[in-house]
C-alpha cells in the first residue's frame, strides 16, 4: 500500500478552489493517496480575506471561506520552522536571492513536517527545493472541463 502523502495547499490553490477555477475532484484524482492540509500562514491569508468580505457586507461568502478552513488540518509555525526560515533566508540573501517572508514560512513549515507543496506560484518556491521542499504546480488543474 502506498504511503499517504501530505500535500500542503497554498493560498493560490485555496483561492482557485473557492472560485471553482480548480476542481477538488481533479486534485483527488491526481493525488489519490494524499491528505490535503494547509499552513497557518495560508489560514491567516484566507481568514483575512474572509473578514474583509464580511466587513464589506458579503457575510455569507466570508463565513463560507472560514467554514471551509475548518475542514483542513492546519500546521503551525513552530520556533523550529521559524529558525529554519531565518537560516534559509540568510543563506539566500548572501547569494543575492530574496524570497517573501510568508513564502519562506510556508516552505519551512512544509520542510519541517515533510509536506509537499501544491501552488500556482511555483517560481516563488523554486530555490527552496535546494532545502528539500517538494513543489507541485497546480497550473495543469486550472479550468479543466
Task: Classify burial at 130, counting beta carbons within 10 Å of its beta carbon; exposed 0-12, middle 13-18, buried 19 or more.
Answer: exposed
Residue 27 has pLDDT above 70, yes or no: yes
Residue 100 has pLDDT above 90, yes or no: yes
- The Cα 144–Cα 124 span in angstroms is 24
Phi, psi for 75 (deg, rounded to 5): -85, 130
Name, in order, each residue with C-beta under 8 angstroms of 30's C-beta and a sequence gap of 6 or more: 141
- The Cα 40–Cα 44 span in angstroms is 6
Give the tens place of pLDDT for each residue, 48-67.
999 999 999 999 999 999 99
- The Cα 62–Cα 12 span in angstroms is 17
Residue 130, pLDDT score = 92
Q: Which domains does the chain have, with CATH numbers?
A: 5-141 (3.40.50.1010)
CA atoms within 13 A on the CB side of 6: 16
Residue 2 has pLDDT above 70, yes or no: no
What are the residues facing 136 on neighbouring strands? 118
- The Cα 77–Cα 25 span in angstroms is 29
Q: Work out the mean pLDDT of the chain and round it to a whole number.
A: 92
Question: Looking at per-residue confidence, does 79 or 28 come out higher?
Answer: 79
What is the pTM for the complete model shown? 0.90
* Mean pLDDT of the region 65-83: 96
- The Cα 83–Cα 91 span in angstroms is 12
What are the residues facing 22 on neighbouring strands? 142
Amino acid at each position: 500500500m502506498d504511503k499517504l502523502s501530505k500535500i500542503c495547499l497554498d493560498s493560490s490553490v485555496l483561492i482557485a478552489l473557492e472560485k471553482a477555477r480548480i476542481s477538488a475532484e481533479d486534485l483527488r484524482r491526481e493525488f489519490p493517496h494524499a491528505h490535503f492540509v494547509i499552513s497557518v500562514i495560508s489560514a491567516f491569508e484566507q481568514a483575512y480575506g474572509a473578514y474583509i468580505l464580511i466587513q464589506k457586507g458579503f457575510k455569507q461568502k466570508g463565513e463560507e471561506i472560514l467554514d471551509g478552513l475548518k475542514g483542513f488540518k492546519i500546521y503551525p509555525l513552530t520556533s523550529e520552522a521559524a529558525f529554519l526560515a531565518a537560516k534559509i533566508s540568510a543563506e539566500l540573501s548572501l547569494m543575492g536571492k530574496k524570497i517573501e517572508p510568508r513564502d519562506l514560512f510556508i516552505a519551512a513549515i512544509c520542510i519541517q513536517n515533510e509536506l509537499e507543496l501544491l501552488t500556482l506560484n511555483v517560481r516563488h518556491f523554486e530555490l527552496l527545493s535546494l532545502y528539500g521542499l517538494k513543489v507541485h504546480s497546480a497550473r495543469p488543474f486550472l479550468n479543466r472541463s
